[in-house]
Amino acid sequence: MWNSIAQEITRATKNPFDIQDRRSIGGGSINQAYRLSDGDRNYFVKLNRAAQYGMFEAEALGLKEIADSNTIRVPRPICWGTANGSAYIVMEYLPLGNSSRQAWYQMGQDLAAMHRVISDRGFGWQRDNTIGDTPQKNPWIEDWVTFYTEYRLRYQFQLANRRGHFPQQDALLAAIPSLLSGHDPEPSLVHGDLWSGNASVMADGTPVILDPATYYGDREVDLAMTEVFGGFPNAFYEGYQATYPLEDGYEIRKILYNLYHILNHFNLFGGGYGSQASSMCDRLLRYI
């Protein structure tokens, strides 16, 4: 398998690549990760079962879309495919680890610049992708309320009904037009899964985002997700607000947008995420 991957890197980069060193990298939640090196060039590789090829292809196309926007640093995808029963994605290896206030401020500015990239086809994306390893549907839809109701929350509720019961589900879905009334977001290029594990700073101080679940949606979904597991450093929000201020009502919409991720965590991991999702529904229903 490693020989095939090295050959694909050679083909994609038009530059002979021989693996001299292969190092396992921890930290990934879903895939096995490695750094490949020929002593000069380094690549970051993720492996999974061959059936997950589509997940890597979607990740590669998402990384490419963000990289092509020239707004925020992501690892450039190099090649992806299957070899010996495994699916793989190869991307630039980025040396990480030099967090500073300035870097997080710039992360906010760069993310805001990415959110200024607007689709002329509405909300959605060129293809479906995954959130964690749950399918994420991205048909092109003109109207954000419909997109978010049908292809984000209803989809996760349908999966969740197999493991738990959410009596507020119908009321909550029916309340979305009212919760989003007066809010008319543009279809921004979003990362889609921007928790703290997917944002980092390179050794040279450049902020970088990783592992996207890209689509065009309300930019607030990314800001909301940064707050799900503890929040980013304050400088990040200062940089974002200075560049592209958030609109009134974000604090309530944030709960609506994070419900998607909490339901997804319930679907992936079960446990206390079910009661967390339930109490988020209750809170939201008190606002209508």
Tell me the C-alpha distance between 74 and 92, whole Å. Answer: 9
- Residue number, 31 or 71, with CB nearest to ligand ADP: 31
Pair of tokens at residue 218? 């309300």
What's the min distance (Å) between Cβ of 44 and ligand ADP? 4
- Residue number, 42 or 243, with CB nearest to ligand ADP: 42
Q: Which of 68, 110, 193, 248 is catalytic?
A: 193
Work out whether strand 129-131 and strand 86-92 pair parallel, antiparallel, or are unpaired.
unpaired
Q: Which residues contact 278 (CB under 8 A, 6 or more apart)?
A: 166, 168
The CA–CA distances, whole Å, from 137 to 100, 175, 255 equal 36, 21, 21
What's the min distance (Å) between Cβ of 55 and ligand ADP? 9
What's the min distance (Å) between Cβ of 59 and ligand ADP? 8
- Residue number, 218 or 222, with CB nearest to ligand ADP: 222
What's the min distance (Å) between Cβ of 201 and ligand ADP? 11
The CA–CA distances, whole Å, from 62 to 58, 120, 130, 209 equal 6, 17, 11, 12
- Residue number, 89 or 111, with CB nearest to ligand ADP: 89
- Residue number, 33 or 255, with CB nearest to ligand ADP: 33
Contact residues toward ligand ADP (CB under 6 A) are 25, 27-31, 33, 44, 46, 75, 91-94, 96, 197-198, 210-211
What's the min distance (Å) between Cβ of 108 and ligand ADP? 20
Where is 247: in which H helix or E strand? none
Tell me the C-alpha distance between 187 and 283, whole Å. Answer: 27
Q: Which residue has the CB atom at the shortest distance from ligand ADP?
A: 28
193 counts as catalytic: yes
- Residue number, 46 or 219, with CB nearest to ligand ADP: 46
User: Using an 8 Å Cβ cutoff, are 32 and 73 in contact?
Assistant: no
Give residue 140's identity as a one-letter amino acid code. Answer: W
Residues facing residue 45 across a β-bridge: 34, 90
Residue 32's CB is within 10 A of a number of other CB atoms, namely 14
Q: What SS3 state is found at 24?
A: strand
What's the min distance (Å) between Cβ of 69 and ligand ADP? 17
Strand segments (E) across 64-162:
77-83, 86-92, 129-131, 134-136
Q: Which residues contact 50 (CB under 8 A, 6 or more apart)?
A: 82, 85, 86, 87
Q: Which residues are catalytic?
A: 193
